[in-house]
């Protein structure tokens, strides 16, 4: 296909952000698209470019094979990322795969405690091995409590779920974008990603610390506070942040309350001989007590910005511009703020691709 035949995306920054995000965080989904579009033997796929009508993937069929460039037309009209993820989800459903990758895991609640004015820590035990020293590893928890351990109905429930997914993916293209967004939100409104802060070892048992920031009265916070010793909870998926780019050069970390657990795990497992620079964007300066619970790498630059500032994005940008040359960045902030910071790092500090991992962890509503 000739790219000249396709309509370019006018919002270049949005396109670059989506390409970087999907290549970094959705390799499973991109591979599913490749396999469902005539490349069943594909072992890797990379998003090359996006146009109004579709996208180009680079597909590898073996580790030593030459990449094949393939044009994939869109099915939906609307948000670019939504269109690509729809292609992935419909491909996975056709292949009989779960949209959550069949990563269900059960946990027993051992207890909880407040480790800072607003940070609640859950102590969880699970029969599956926990990932040691994995900063940014998170589970997608269902905001429910199970009265008993899972039983033999799981196979029946899995079959029902697969049929529902097939029907859902067939109907979705015929709905308006607003209706699709409403349905998708309803499907995840009772689920939250929470980060593995650390693995503790007690009498040869692995105990997961899961730290949850309490943002006033929210569904996730109320669920976490309600959990009692002995409760059984479960997750349906898992995710790990890509942080290998932080192992060399001068790095910049930025975090708000939701991403502090990941930053704490990063600092405890720091492998770079050059200490990082950390900017905390917090509503309450008292949350610095959370950071003070560990010994940060010697020489770490620590900065605090009040997230209630009237011109928050400009305050962060001004601080970044005053720092030494930044060679790699990782951050997790509110979505709109993250886009502005990522764009500034790309355009004014030449941080491209995997060197510029600034994520939107949540969106103001």
Q: Of 230 and 173, which is predicted with more confidence?
A: 230
DSSP annotation of 92 reads: H
Q: Of 109 and 242, which is predicted with more confidence?
A: 109
| 3-class SS shares of the chain: helix, strand, coil, % to 5 | 35, 30, 35
Per the CB < 8 A criterion, the answer to whether 238 and 144 are in contact is: no
- Give the integer Cα–Cα distance in Å for 253 and 259: 10
- Backbone dihedral angles phi then psi of residue 357, each to the nearest 5 degrees: -100, 85
- Give the integer Cα–Cα distance in Å for 303 and 317: 13
Q: Of 46 and 154, which is predicted with more confidence?
A: 46
| Range of weakest confidence among 74-83, 120-129, 179-188, 244-253 | 179-188
What is 102-240's CATH number? Answer: 2.40.30.10
Which pLDDT value is given to residue 3?
57
- Give the integer Cα–Cα distance in Å for 241 and 269: 14
Per the CB < 8 A criterion, the answer to whether 361 and 334 are in contact is: yes
Any residues with CB less than 8 A from the CB of 194 and at least 6 apart, and which? 138, 139, 141, 210, 211, 212, 220
Query: How deeply is 202 buried, as exposed, middle or buried, from its count of CB atoms within 10 A (0-12, 13-18, 19+)?
Result: exposed
| Range of weakest confidence among 54-63, 88-97, 194-203 | 88-97
Per the CB < 8 A criterion, the answer to whether 334 and 312 are in contact is: no
- Give the integer Cα–Cα distance in Å for 350 and 18: 18
Q: Of 28 and 155, which is predicted with more confidence?
A: 28
| Confidence category of residue 96, pLDDT binned at 50, 70, 90 | low
CA 13 distance to own-chain centroid: 20
Quick: pLDDT tens for 19-75.
888 888 788 888 888 888 888 888 889 999 999 899 999 998 876 667 889 999 987
Which pLDDT value is given to residue 168?
47
Class (C level, CATH) for 244-362: alpha beta
Which pLDDT value is given to residue 346?
94
Q: What percent of the chain has pLDDT over 90?
A: 49
Which pLDDT value is given to residue 252?
98
DSSP annotation of 61 reads: S
Instruction: List beta partners, residue 226.
Output: none
Mean pLDDT estimate for the chain: 84
Q: Is the pTM of this model over 0.85?
A: no
- DSSP SS3 for 50: strand
pLDDT at 7 over 80: yes
Which pLDDT value is given to residue 176?
54
Class (C level, CATH) for 3-94: alpha beta
Ranges for all domains in the chain classified under CATH 3.20.180.10:
3-94
Which pLDDT value is given to residue 83?
81
- Give the integer Cα–Cα distance in Å for 44 and 31: 6
Burial 146-163 (b: 16+ CB within 10 A, else e): eeeeeeeeeeeeeeeeee
Ranges for all domains in the chain classified under CATH 2.40.30.10:
102-240
pLDDT at 301 over 60: yes
Quick: pLDDT tens for 323-364.
999 999 999 999 899 999 999 999 999 999 889 999 988 776
pLDDT at 184 over 60: no
Which pLDDT value is given to residue 150?
47
Cite the beta strand spans of the chain per DSSP E.
Answer: 44-50, 54-60, 68-73, 105-114, 119-125, 137-142, 191-202, 205-213, 232-240, 251-255, 277-282, 301-306, 328-334, 356-362
pLDDT at 81 over 90: no
| Confidence category of residue 160, pLDDT binned at 50, 70, 90 | very low
Bridge-based pairing of strands 191-202 and 137-142 is: antiparallel
- Give the integer Cα–Cα distance in Å for 353 and 20: 6
Q: Of 122 and 133, which is predicted with more confidence?
A: 122
Which pLDDT value is given to residue 164?
45
pLDDT mean over 261-286: 93
Q: How far is CA 320 from CA 259, 279, 353, in A?
A: 19, 9, 19
Ranges for all domains in the chain classified under CATH 3.40.50.80:
244-362
């Amino acid at each position: 296909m000739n790219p000249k035949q396709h309509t370019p995306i006018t919002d270049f920054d949005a396109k670059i952000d989506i390409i970087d995000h999907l290549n970094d965080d959705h390799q499973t989904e991109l591979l599913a698209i490749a396999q469902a579009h005539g490349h069943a033997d594909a072992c890797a796929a990379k998003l090359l470019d996006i146009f109004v009508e579709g996208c180009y993937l680079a597909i590898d069929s073996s580790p030593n094979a030459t990449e094949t460039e393939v044009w994939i037309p869109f099915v939906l009209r609307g948000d670019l990322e939504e269109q690509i993820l729809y292609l992935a989800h419909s491909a996975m459903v056709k292949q009989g795969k779960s949209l959550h990758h069949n990563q269900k895991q059960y946990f027993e609640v051992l207890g909880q405690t407040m480790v800072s004015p607003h940070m609640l820590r859950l102590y969880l035990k699970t029969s599956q091995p926990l990932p040691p020293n994995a900063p940014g590893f998170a589970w997608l928890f269902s905001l429910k409590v199970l009265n008993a351990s899972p039983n033999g109905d799981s196979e029946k429930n899995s079959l029902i779920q697969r049929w529902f997914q097939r029907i859902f993916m067939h109907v979705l293209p015929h709905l308006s974008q607003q209706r699709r967004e409403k349905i998708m939100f309803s499907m995840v409104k009772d689920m939250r990603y929470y980060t593995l802060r650390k693995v503790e070892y007690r009498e040869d048992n692995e105990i997961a610390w899961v730290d949850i920031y309490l943002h006033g009265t929210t569904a996730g916070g109320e669920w976490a506070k309600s959990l009692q010793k002995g409760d059984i909870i479960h997750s349906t998926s898992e995710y790990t942040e890509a942080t290998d780019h932080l192992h060399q050069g001068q790095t910049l970390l930025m975090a708000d309350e939701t991403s502090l657990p990941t930053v704490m795990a990063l600092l405890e497992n720091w492998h770079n001989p050059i200490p990082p620079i950390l900017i905390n964007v917090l509503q309450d300066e008292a949350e610095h007590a959370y950071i003070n619970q560990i010994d940060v790498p010697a020489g770490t630059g620590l900065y605090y910005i009040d997230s209630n500032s009237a011109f928050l994005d400009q305050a962060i940008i001004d601080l970044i511009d005053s720092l030494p040359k930044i060679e790699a960045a990782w951050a997790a902030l509110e979505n709109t703020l993250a886009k502005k910071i990522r764009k500034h790092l790309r355009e004014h500090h030449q941080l491209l691709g995997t060197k510029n991992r600034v994520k939107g962890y949540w969106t103001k509503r």
